[in-house]
Protein backbone atom coordinates (compact mmCIF):
# COMPACT_ATOMS: atom_id res chain seq x y z
CA UNK A 1 0.00 0.00 0.00
CA UNK A 2 1.15 3.53 -0.78
CA UNK A 3 2.53 5.11 2.44
CA UNK A 4 1.09 8.49 1.32
CA UNK A 5 -2.42 7.06 0.92
CA UNK A 6 -4.84 8.71 3.34
CA UNK A 7 -7.61 6.19 3.93
CA UNK A 8 -9.43 8.62 6.25
CA UNK A 9 -9.85 11.06 3.34
CA UNK A 10 -11.39 8.35 1.18
CA UNK A 11 -15.02 9.20 0.61
CA UNK A 12 -16.96 6.22 -0.78
CA UNK A 13 -19.91 8.42 -1.79
CA UNK A 14 -17.51 10.35 -4.00
CA UNK A 15 -16.64 7.38 -6.21
CA UNK A 16 -19.22 4.63 -5.81
CA UNK A 17 -21.89 4.19 -8.44
CA UNK A 18 -25.41 3.50 -7.24
CA UNK A 19 -27.60 1.05 -9.12
CA UNK A 20 -30.53 2.81 -10.81
CA UNK A 21 -28.97 6.28 -10.87
CA UNK A 22 -28.79 7.73 -14.40
CA UNK A 23 -25.27 9.13 -14.40
CA UNK A 24 -25.18 9.40 -18.19
CA UNK A 25 -28.05 11.90 -18.29
CA UNK A 26 -26.31 14.09 -15.69
CA UNK A 27 -23.04 13.88 -17.58
CA UNK A 28 -24.78 14.79 -20.84
CA UNK A 29 -26.39 17.83 -19.23
CA UNK A 30 -22.95 18.92 -18.00
CA UNK A 31 -21.53 18.49 -21.52
CA UNK A 32 -24.43 20.57 -22.89
CA UNK A 33 -23.77 23.23 -20.26
CA UNK A 34 -20.11 23.35 -21.27
CA UNK A 35 -21.11 23.90 -24.90
CA UNK A 36 -23.55 26.65 -23.90
CA UNK A 37 -21.01 28.36 -21.67
CA UNK A 38 -18.31 28.33 -24.35
CA UNK A 39 -20.75 29.64 -26.95
CA UNK A 40 -21.89 32.47 -24.69
CA UNK A 41 -18.30 33.39 -23.89
CA UNK A 42 -17.43 33.38 -27.60
CA UNK A 43 -20.44 35.63 -28.34
CA UNK A 44 -19.29 38.01 -25.60
CA UNK A 45 -15.86 38.24 -27.22
CA UNK A 46 -14.10 36.32 -24.46
CA UNK A 47 -11.08 34.27 -25.52
CA UNK A 48 -11.89 30.62 -24.75
CA UNK A 49 -8.74 29.01 -26.13
CA UNK A 50 -7.39 28.28 -22.64
CA UNK A 51 -10.74 27.48 -21.02
CA UNK A 52 -11.00 23.87 -19.89
CA UNK A 53 -14.04 22.07 -18.59
CA UNK A 54 -14.72 18.62 -17.21
CA UNK A 55 -18.23 17.19 -17.26
CA UNK A 56 -19.03 14.93 -14.31
CA UNK A 57 -21.89 13.91 -12.04
CA UNK A 58 -22.60 13.96 -8.35
CA UNK A 59 -23.43 10.81 -6.43
CA UNK A 60 -27.14 11.35 -7.12
CA UNK A 61 -26.56 11.67 -10.88
CA UNK A 62 -26.87 15.46 -11.16
CA UNK A 63 -24.59 17.02 -13.75
CA UNK A 64 -21.58 19.02 -12.63
CA UNK A 65 -19.28 21.13 -14.78
CA UNK A 66 -15.81 21.89 -13.45
CA UNK A 67 -14.30 24.86 -15.27
CA UNK A 68 -10.74 26.11 -15.32
CA UNK A 69 -10.05 29.40 -17.02
CA UNK A 70 -7.34 32.05 -17.10
CA UNK A 71 -7.79 35.07 -14.84
CA UNK A 72 -8.39 37.31 -17.85
CA UNK A 73 -11.26 35.12 -19.05
CA UNK A 74 -12.74 34.96 -15.53
CA UNK A 75 -12.66 38.74 -15.21
CA UNK A 76 -14.18 39.19 -18.67
CA UNK A 77 -16.93 36.70 -17.80
CA UNK A 78 -17.64 38.50 -14.53
CA UNK A 79 -17.80 41.82 -16.38
CA UNK A 80 -20.18 40.41 -19.01
CA UNK A 81 -22.44 39.01 -16.28
CA UNK A 82 -22.50 42.36 -14.46
CA UNK A 83 -23.31 44.23 -17.68
CA UNK A 84 -26.18 41.83 -18.39
CA UNK A 85 -27.50 42.14 -14.83
CA UNK A 86 -27.40 45.93 -15.13
CA UNK A 87 -29.23 45.75 -18.45
CA UNK A 88 -31.95 43.59 -16.87
CA UNK A 89 -32.29 45.90 -13.88
CA UNK A 90 -32.64 48.92 -16.15
CA UNK A 91 -35.20 47.10 -18.31
CA UNK A 92 -37.15 46.13 -15.19
CA UNK A 93 -37.08 49.66 -13.82
CA UNK A 94 -38.31 51.17 -17.08
CA UNK A 95 -40.99 48.47 -17.33
CA UNK A 96 -42.17 49.24 -13.80
CA UNK A 97 -42.52 52.95 -14.66
CA UNK A 98 -44.55 52.29 -17.80
CA UNK A 99 -46.93 49.85 -16.05
Nearest to 83 by CA among 35, 40, 32: 40
pLDDT score at 6? 58
Residue-wise pLDDT tens digits, 37-75: 999 999 999 999 999 999 999 989 999 999 999 999 999
Contacts of 15 (CB under 8 A, 6+ apart): none
Q: Compare 33 and 96 and report the one with higher pLDDT.
A: 33
pLDDT score at 37? 96
Asked if 80 and 48 count as a contact pair (C-beta separation under 8 A), the reply is no
Asked if 51 and 73 count as a contact pair (C-beta separation under 8 A), the reply is yes
Q: How far apart are CA 45 and CA 77, in angstroms?
A: 10
Nearest to 14 by CA among 56, 52, 55, 54: 56
pLDDT score at 49? 95
pLDDT score at 92? 85
pLDDT score at 56? 93
- pTM confidence score: 0.71
Reply yes or no on whether the pLDDT at 89 is more than 60. Answer: yes
Amino acid sequence: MDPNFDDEALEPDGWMWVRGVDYVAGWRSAVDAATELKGAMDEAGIDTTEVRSIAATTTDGAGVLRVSLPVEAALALANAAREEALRWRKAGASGARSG
